[in-house]
Structure 1
């Protein structure tokens, strides 16, 4: 990578660097682990959510015209994100309030990041250099001007866009033989603009913090930042244990240090008034399945990245929680009658295209029976994009033995 051009580091970037140096030895150690998980001795690339072997498998299946991969690829290339005429819409400051109101660059940033990843996937499958150059154009446009995220949804906006950029950058940097002259400048964007916003997570909503750790882990792999990777993984383990309840947790769900949920009443209020806890229930189940899916998607993405980097979290408590949470939500998403003890007997469905990654690892690879998750996944193929941070996972992870 060529050296990044000189640029004054902002105060949040400097704070992040200081915190990482000072606190990496005292990382948040959460449930389901006895220590912070170490970064690999050498990072594997491309290695954010999807590996070279997974990409090669998908490419081969598309070339053979096999389903569901060929249909998933066709869906991707027909999307607006694969348009070779797409014009990036960068801005220096992205301002996002609740539900992206106001939306000053929020949709543009998220969708340009998704488009960069889409173009990178299209490059890998087709070897059409126009897609690689378009991905580079999008990444270069934003890294040239972006300096900050503001307003109440700034952390969420940062992690959503920050989850897609490194997936695109990993594929282009490590598989495209052409020139990416701006790669050094691009690397300063996740380091200086994104990581400082998400490094400390969120002691409030589980789906926020899980998405934050997904972005932090992906950025850490791209930057080969072992300290940031360790810190994000430790926070991820703690938050996953608090997000998904298992009967083995005891009478009450686990919590994250710093939340200050000290009584049963506080925990019940935090979980949208749900007072009966059953295996697979998440913190967000009784709010709606869409936000529930955001958190579960992040769990599967981080576990997938960790496996590529040499540590298979699917075989740990993380995988156990993901398996039960996917099954629990999938059963209701498929139309099972809701008992009155669950969310007052009323659910807001809409899980989204978030089940392929977990199903591939837990069912197809590890052999767990996941009847409801498999049926829902196959019903929803081809899994497209949620237009936020999830994209094309039937193509990359559908029944993928790699």
Structure 2
């Protein structure tokens, strides 16, 4: 999270966003500008449901593994059920206005909203795997409570808060709407996503990169639930502009790329935005030298967006695979204990990535065949992955070794 006023991107029309991707001209030191390219429509002709982060074949695979007592899925499922988010005694705590300042101070409903959204997703997974309708009914109860009350998000962290909660809500809603027998208020929930969440996240942010990536994750998930092709295309355009500006690879030249509309057009501005880091290596992110926790938020959102796109029929993984595998590998290496060189963040990295490697590792290593020794070691060492209590939850359960 970041203090100060959040600069919000100016909203282009959805039609223009679907038509054109702005080319970003790098500073002279970074080499010639990349050529302009016309954005292709990304939205599918027919949306796949459930289709936000997890698909029906993926869910079927998980259920089969859990019921067979196979590991690591059974252990991950047991961990999930034992936690607070799966509690059938949970009482939702909706608010009309969720006010979140920097670092959630003030915190007027911020934690409640995020945790209720994670709980709805957790309960939807519990429903699908167990077929115990009590879990589905509790998920519906939580979603209905919020859709009947919330009107707005305010204060400086409103875009990020909306992105975090807005990433979890559609995952839950997709599973319940398309695998459970009845949800009378699903239309009202969709109206909440369209009117309260989507306007806050669809235009992105020029704050630290994890902001825009989390907001874009929310936007693409909401677009799937609403079957909104224009919003989907706009979210994919944001993604394609932000990922190259968040994860550096040597093919970029001597400097990282700048996100479209960021206004960063000198070396000093880019270095300052990259936390003062002036030496760039494959997989470095814009927030690596800030801390690994926020880096994990950004990397996780990249994986989630690519996973949803793959389910919807236009696989974005090949476009970002090189950046994502290097980002996961670089940070996993140091999380495993390798000495940090003085050229990287002054020889010291702060905090930890969190439970964020499973989705990207499964896609890149298991499906696409990339060798990812460090990422594999870290992922397996930390199983079962739990929740970061913001927008990541139960990814060993949903994605470990999942072939679908």
Task: Write the distance in 2 (CA, Å) between the matches of 1:339 and 1:166.
Answer: 41
**Could you tell me the TM-score, scaled by structure 2's length?**
0.93
Deviation at 1:309, TM superposition (A): 0.5
1:257 counterpart = 2:260: yes
Task: Report what 1:246 is aligned to.
Answer: 249
Task: Write the distance in 2 (CA, Å) between the matches of 1:83 and 1:37.
Answer: 41
Task: Write the distance in 2 (CA, Å) between the matches of 1:92 and 1:219.
Answer: 20
Task: Report what 2:14 is aligned to.
Answer: 20
The within-5 A match list for 1:23-34 is 23-28=17-22
Equivalent position SS for 1:202: coil
Task: Report what 1:375 is aligned to.
Answer: 377
Deviation at 1:20, TM superposition (A): 2.5
CA displacement 1:132-182 (0-9 Å, x = unmatched) = 0001000000000000000000000000000000000000000112x2111
Deviation at 1:239, TM superposition (A): 0.2
Deviation at 1:314, TM superposition (A): 1.6
**Could you tell me the TM-score, scaled by structure 1's length?**
0.93
Deviation at 1:24, TM superposition (A): 3.6
Task: Write the distance in 2 (CA, Å) between the matches of 1:379 and 1:355.
Answer: 11
Task: Write the distance in 2 (CA, Å) between the matches of 1:265 and 1:170.
Answer: 44
User: Paired residue for 1:82, among 83, 86, 90?
Assistant: 86
1:93 counterpart = 2:97: yes
> Aligned in 2, Cα 1:238/1:70: closer, same or farther, shift over 3 Å?
same
Deviation at 1:204, TM superposition (A): 2.4
The within-5 A match list for 1:126-145 is 126-145=130-149
Contact 1:49 1:305 (C-alpha < 8 Å) held by counterparts: yes
1:201 counterpart = 2:195: no
CA displacement 1:340-373 (0-9 Å, x = unmatched) = 0000001103100000000000001111100000
For structure 1, the 5+ residue unaligned runs are 1-14
Equivalent position SS for 1:145: coil
Task: Write the distance in 2 (CA, Å) between the matches of 1:375 and 1:341.
Answer: 25
User: Paired residue for 1:58, among 62, 67, 80?
Assistant: 62
Deviation at 1:28, TM superposition (A): 4.6
Task: Report what 1:397 is aligned to.
Answer: 399
Task: Report what 1:330 is aligned to.
Answer: 332
Task: Report what 1:288 is aligned to.
Answer: 291
Deviation at 1:289, TM superposition (A): 0.3
Contact 1:29 1:36 (C-alpha < 8 Å) held by counterparts: no
For structure 2, the 5+ residue unaligned runs are 1-9, 25-33
CA displacement 1:23-62 (0-9 Å, x = unmatched) = 5434556779752442001000000011111111010000
Contact 1:114 1:391 (C-alpha < 8 Å) held by counterparts: yes
> Aligned in 2, Cα 1:28/1:224: closer, same or farther, shift over 3 Å?
farther
User: Paired residue for 2:360, among 358, 361, 368?
Assistant: 358
1:105 counterpart = 2:109: yes
> Aligned in 2, Cα 1:106/1:158: closer, same or farther, shift over 3 Å?
same
Equivalent position SS for 2:134: helix
Task: Write the distance in 2 (CA, Å) between the matches of 1:308 and 1:28.
Answer: 26
CA displacement 1:275-332 (0-9 Å, x = unmatched) = 001110000000000000000000000000000011122222x111111100011001
CA displacement 1:190-238 (0-9 Å, x = unmatched) = 1000011111101221110000100000000000000000001011011
Task: Write the distance in 1 (CA, Å) between the matches of 2:360 and 2:16.
Answer: 34
Deviation at 1:22, TM superposition (A): 5.8
Deviation at 1:21, TM superposition (A): 4.8
Task: Report what 1:306 is aligned to.
Answer: 309
Equivalent position SS for 2:148: helix
Equivalent position SS for 2:325: helix
1:388 counterpart = 2:354: no
User: Paired residue for 1:43, among 33, 39, 47?
Assistant: 47
Equivalent position SS for 1:95: strand
Across the two proteins, how many residue pairs are aligned to each other?
385
